[in-house]
Amino acid sequence: VLRDPHAVPEKKFDDIIKQYRTIRERYAKSKVVQGVPILIGRVYMLRKDYDKAREAYQQIFALYPENKVLGAEALASTGKSYEIEGNWPSALKTYQKIIQDYPLTGIGLGTPMYIANYYRTQNDYKHTMSAYDSAISHYQNLVSQYANSPLGFHALRFLANCYLDQNRWKEAIDTFAQILLNYATAEYMNARTADMIVK
């Protein structure tokens, strides 16, 4: 189906969705099946039925409200569905909700950079710079709130990348120096990572 969704009969999509639902019902108590609504949503995305895809993603919030990783993934998939449809305002609103509600997840950490990169691919200089400024402010807040923790470490790396993308070399170098000075332990980096930062 992934190789060529256009060549797949409609019934095949229905069969796959039915199989996913059966798995979820059969193993309802297993944590493994918690992501099934997202998989179902992806099948609808391949089918280009974006409303149904978003309905599937929405189930995550009702079924697993405490699962922040899945919540962030469901929102990211929702945003992507709007993006594919060419509805950037709705996509942006969804991505901003990720930053607001799930800032400490992997997806939440990457979303401010994703927004800036989107504008950059559109050659929209004004919005790109504005998005980077927002991302920098966001990462700086995380760095100060979660100093000397894995989250602070990752926020610094994203912050350095923001500066690099803007050709703000001094701030980038200062940020890399901060990483080396505050996180030079095996918990955060190995010789290869440190060498990359130094270079």
Calpha distance 108→76 (Å, rounded): 9
What is the pLDDT confidence band of residue 169, given thresholds at 50, 70 and 90?
Answer: very high
pLDDT at position 186: 85
Calpha distance 74→67 (Å, rounded): 11
pTM over 0.95: no
Q: pLDDT: is 198 or 136 the higher one?
A: 136
What is the pLDDT confidence band of residue 129, given thresholds at 50, 70 and 90?
Answer: very high
Give tens-digit pLDDT for 43-80.
999 989 999 999 999 999 999 999 999 999 999 999 99
Q: Mean per-residue pLDDT for 164-176?
A: 95
